């Protein structure tokens, strides 16, 4: 069994990447997007967290969360979100032909990759780099040429609040990269 190093900091701020199993384009379906929103809202009722930034692409998502003071358990939150979502959409998206012995042993579906990427935000520069990376992601992956045309992102809230200009990331080439040097963490 792998020994994952986790950066648990009470009240910490974290960047996450979560990917669907075999990179299925689940989130191109409105039903899946609504189910994910419900799973997040239900999880936040018992395990609150603040979403600082978010982007949802067809087969993965990136986000930054801040946990409440005295709390460091992001894993339980992801476990609940993924579990609630999977139960909600299993009849539409589960693929029995993709089930492996390992997936059966762990009582998993074919909705999510088992693990997720986690990175503890260390300082303001790190926060800003990950914040921009999240919002630029739809352009980076070629889904749109202008961020204003990607509806599944907190980018629009930050334009409305005048943090970003409406044409941020499309007027001149913007190369937002982050260093992914930490290990993947367990999830469901």
Active site residues: 152
- Among 69, 67, 111, 120, smallest CA distance to 90 is for 111
Token pair of 37 as six digits: 């929103």
- 134 token code pair: 């999240």
Q: From CA 9, how far away is CA 51, in angstroms rounded?
A: 17
The candidate with the shortest Cα–Cα distance to 185, out of 122, 120, 117, 119, is 117
Coil, strand, or helix at residue 186?
strand
Task: State the burial class of residue 85 (Cβ atoms within 10 Å of its Cβ: 0-12, 13-18, 19+).
Answer: buried
8 A C-beta contact, residue 174 and residue 165: no
How far apart CA 77 and CA 46 sit, in angstroms, is 9
Count CB neighbours of 174 within 10 A: 14
């Amino acid at each position: 069994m792998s020994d994952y190093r986790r950066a648990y900091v009470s009240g910490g701020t974290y960047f996450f990447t979560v990917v669907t199993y075999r990179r299925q384009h689940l989130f191109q379906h409105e039903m899946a997007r609504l189910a994910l929103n419900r799973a997040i809202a239900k999880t936040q009722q018992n395990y609150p967290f603040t979403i600082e930034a978010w982007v949802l692409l067809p087969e993965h998502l990136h986000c930054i969360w801040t946990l409440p003071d005295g709390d460091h358990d992001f894993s339980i939150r992801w476990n609940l979100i993924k579990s609630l979502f999977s139960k909600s959409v299993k009849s539409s998206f589960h693929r029995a032909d993709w089930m492996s012995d390992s997936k059966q042993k762990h009582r998993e579906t074919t909705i999510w990759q088992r693990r997720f990427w986690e990175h503890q935000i260390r300082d303001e520069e790190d926060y800003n780099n990950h914040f921009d990376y999240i919002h630029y992601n739809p352009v980076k992956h070629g889904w749109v040429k202008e961020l204003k045309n990607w509806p599944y992102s907190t980018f629009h809230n930050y334009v409305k609040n005048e943090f970003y200009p409406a044409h941020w990331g499309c007027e001149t080439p913007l190369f937002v990269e982050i260093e992914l040097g930490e290990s993947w963490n367990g999830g469901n």
